Amino acid sequence: MADKTSLQPKLMRLALGLLCLFFVHSSIAQEEDFNASLTDSIGNEAPTNVKNPKKAIYLALMFPGAGQVYNEKVWKLPLLYSGVSAAVYFLNFNNRRYKEFIVALDIVREGTEANPFPNLNEDGIIRNVEYWRRNRDAMYMVFGAIYALGAVDAFVDAHLSGFDVSDDLTFKLEPSMEPLLANNSAIGLSFKIKF
């Protein structure tokens, strides 16, 4: 018979899995409704490769990189995961150093053991504690910014998936004459875009 404490993590994982399944199912249903309602201003059907921005941001928020996979921009995953990995590494490094100096501060204040940092007095150790705490907290913000940037990228990319860039996009460079004052005019080049 399993005891109550070993059953709680299993129930939490099951509840989290069911919650994720619910979000994925509801986002798929939203995508079907989204694609069914897509028409351009004339009433013609829009392209079928248009992605749902809501689904892209939900996926990106649930699991970093899932929005990029949904948008079929898999090449962005190494960039995202290298940023997340670097943030986690430096967060861990700064947190370890912070804890080392906290322990050293307790040792110095108690005075029962030798100072683990003999070249630092109590004020120097306090400065190091504050320095590593600031660095650790900054890395939390960097991690959050990278996570949010991945979600925003997935959202914007899904919005731009329906952007039509047709083949008749042309650029022309033509001479032009613009009036300046009463009898004066300027001669130059004009850059015209036809779309």
- Is 73 inside any structural domain? yes
- Is 34 inside any structural domain? yes
pLDDT, greater one: 190 or 90: 90
Predicted local distance difference test score (pLDDT) of residue 118: 87
Q: Phi and psi (nearest 5°) for 76?
A: -80, -15
- Give the count of domains, the chain: 1
State pLDDT tens for residues 110-162: 888 888 888 989 899 999 999 999 999 999 999 999 999 999 999 999 988 88
- Is 50 inside any structural domain? yes
State pLDDT tens for residues 150-162: 999 999 999 888 8
Predicted local distance difference test score (pLDDT) of residue 42: 47
- Is 70 inside any structural domain? yes
As a whole number, mean pLDDT of residues 71-77 equals 92
Beta strands (DSSP E) in the chain are: 170-179, 185-194
Rounded Cα distance between 101 and 12, Å, is 35
**Own/partner pairs, 46-53, CB within 8 angstroms, 24+ separation:** 46/162, 47/162, 47/164, 49/161, 50/161, 50/162, 51/157, 51/158, 51/161, 51/162, 52/27, 52/158, 53/155, 53/158, 53/159
- Token pair, residue 154, equals 């997935």
Rounded Cα distance between 88 and 109, Å, is 31
Predicted local distance difference test score (pLDDT) of residue 33: 54
Rounded Cα distance between 135 and 141, Å, is 10
Rounded Cα distance between 125 and 87, Å, is 25
As a whole number, mean pLDDT of residues 67-86 equals 93
- Is 48 inside any structural domain? yes
Domain that holds residue 147: 9-160
- The full DSSP string for 88-137 is HHHHHHHHHHHHHHHHHHHHHHH-SS--SSTT--HHHHHHHHHHHHHHHH
Q: Is the per-residue pLDDT at 1 higher than 50?
A: no
Query: Can you say whether the dihedral through the CA atoms of 92, 96, 97, 99 is positive or negative?
Result: positive
**Type of residue found at 165:** V
- Is 127 inside any structural domain? yes
State pLDDT tens for residues 22-48: 655 555 555 555 555 555 444 555 556
- Is 168 inside any structural domain? no
pTM of the model: 0.61
Q: Whose structure tokens read 């649930």? A: 62
- Is 179 inside any structural domain? no
